[in-house]
Amino acid sequence: MLHLSQQQKLLQKLTPQQIQYLKLLQLPTLALEQMIKTELEINPLLEEGVDGETEQEQSSDATPAVEEEAKVEEEEKKKDEFSFEDYLSDEESFAPRREVQQQNDDDEREEIPIAATTPLAEKLLDQLHLADVTDMGLQVAEEIIGNIDEDGYLRRDLEAIVNDINLSNKLHLTVPQVEEVLQLIQRLEPVGIACRSLQECLLVQLEFSKADHRLVELGKRLLRDHFDEFTKKHYEKIAEILQITIDDVKGILEIIAHLNPKPGEGTIDAQQNYLTPDFIVTKDEEEFIIQLNDKNVPPLRINRNYKDLMSKRNKDVGADTKQFLRSKFDAAKWFIASIYQRRETMLKVMQEIVNRQRDFFDTGEGLKPLIYKDIAEVIRMDISTISRVVNGKYVQTDFGVFELRYFFSEGISTQSGEDVSNKEVKARIREILTAEDKSKPLSDEDIAAILKEKGFNIARRTVAKYRESMMIPVARLRRSI
């Protein structure tokens, strides 16, 4: 049996405008530019440009006397302006000249052309066209090359590739036939491309090595039959198995060290590898200047012609059209407001990060412990808002480009009672490992003892965690002859 009842609940919901603002807040600069272009296409009431409606009305209503007075003021301003000779001769006018020079430098940077690059797949196919390869072999090669990953390896099973070739081209190729084409590709430039493992990649490259023939043959034998001992760096055992001296082992390792473990790496061109910072922080004497890198973000305004169509005095426009324009007007208004609100929020967060990490922005060192909550409490915003601002955003400083998350870290207590960022501790660990004796690398316990001597209270397990986060191997794997 159904029962009807009424309840009163206090709920907190986000309005569509708030949801739109949060989406804009988490977008980086390039994504924001693309979103603005999309919004300009779908909303007829939105257009680029500064809203100069008020200025136009004032200029049209101006009397001749006011216009004459404006001309006199303009002439007086021209007298007060710097001349070209002033910029060159007067030492006190260095600031204006610096602005002009900076603007010219920006223009020159924008006009620098980017060299065209040829994709790796196209390079490989061009080499195959010059070789004695049949049309069927080219079809197989295209399928194989299409499955090469960014490091230059063929991670996909060869049988699956054979099945795809046979199904798409109605062929009856076997795995050995495709294997022949694969071996041909592996010996193209760069040598070792499309290999299925590191072992195979190094063996293929050794075939083309011009080093000592005896050591190269020993290296092939080592990689082919004793690869496990090679990866574990059991040098004494390798010398015993191959019946050679430690000096021979060292010579083999030097040859292998000159091989390329990732033959496909480095094929990303400048356009794909370019990072656009969202903030630019510069220092002017003792103050830091924070700028949003939004010079390519166009100013937005409401289209005045469409706005006039919504007027009640306009009887030529139907009610349905006015309702449509009204909805687009509200959407455009909230979109512009969200962009301005995004700008203000991002500048507030960045300003507080600079205030908290002033030593780093001043010297490039001395990061302090910082969490999202510290920023949220000062600017009186939610932690989730800080997370949206920080995630995926970058800042250009005098010491390089950093992700905003780089400035947030946990703290480690020192013997003096001062807290330092765990990133500073990681930097000390890297310095210690750089200076260690490679024939007798330091263990995590040894590193912890050295850090304690320097005033850092840190356990061996913490050292191991930081070392692994920096992708530094254990002592046994860092050993070299």
pLDDT in tens, 6-43: 888 887 777 777 788 888 888 888 888 888 999 889 88
Instruction: Tell me what the pLDDT averaged over the chain comes to.
Output: 81
Q: What is the pLDDT of residue 1?
A: 62
Q: Would you place residue 298 in the very low, low, confident or very high pLDDT band (cuts 50, 70, 90)?
A: confident
Q: Which residue ranges make up each domain of the chain?
A: 123-197, 279-407, 413-478
Torsion of CA 200, 202, 206, 208, to 10 degrees: 90
Q: What is the pLDDT of residue 118?
A: 76
Q: Which residue in 139, 150, 414 sits closest to 268, CA to CA?
A: 150
Rounded to whole angstroms, how far apart are CA atoms 201 and 95?
Answer: 58
Q: What is the pLDDT of residue 244?
A: 92
**Is the per-residue pLDDT at 243 higher than 60?**
yes
Query: Does residue 96 come out as left (phi exceeding 0), alpha (psi in the -120 to 50 range) or beta?
Result: alpha
Average pLDDT over residues 155-175: 87
pLDDT in tens, 300-338: 888 888 877 777 677 777 788 888 888 888 888 899 989
Q: What is the pLDDT of residue 133?
A: 83
| Domain 413-478, CATH among 3.30.2130.10, 3.20.180.10, 1.10.10.60, 3.40.1130.10 | 1.10.10.60
pLDDT in tens, 59-98: 444 444 434 444 544 554 444 444 433 433 333 333 333 3
Q: What is the pLDDT of residue 114?
A: 57
411: Cβ contacts below 8 Å, ≥ 6 apart: 368, 369, 419, 420, 421, 422
Q: What is the pLDDT of residue 56?
A: 46
**Is the per-residue pLDDT at 144 higher than 60?**
yes
Q: What is the pLDDT of residue 77?
A: 45
Helix (H) or strand (E) holding 235, with range, is: helix 235-242
CATH 3.40.50.2300 fits 123-197, yes or no: no
Q: Which residue in 213, 208, 214, 212 sits closest to 243, CA to CA?
A: 214
Same fold, 123-197 and 413-478: yes
**Is the per-residue pLDDT at 197 higher than 50?**
yes
Q: What percent of the chain is modeled with pLDDT above 70?
A: 83
Give 401's DSSP letter.
Answer: E
* N-to-C CA span, the chain: 84
Q: What is the pLDDT of residue 209?
A: 92
Average pLDDT over residues 241-270: 85
Q: Would you place residue 100 in the very low, low, confident or very high pLDDT band (cuts 50, 70, 90)?
A: very low
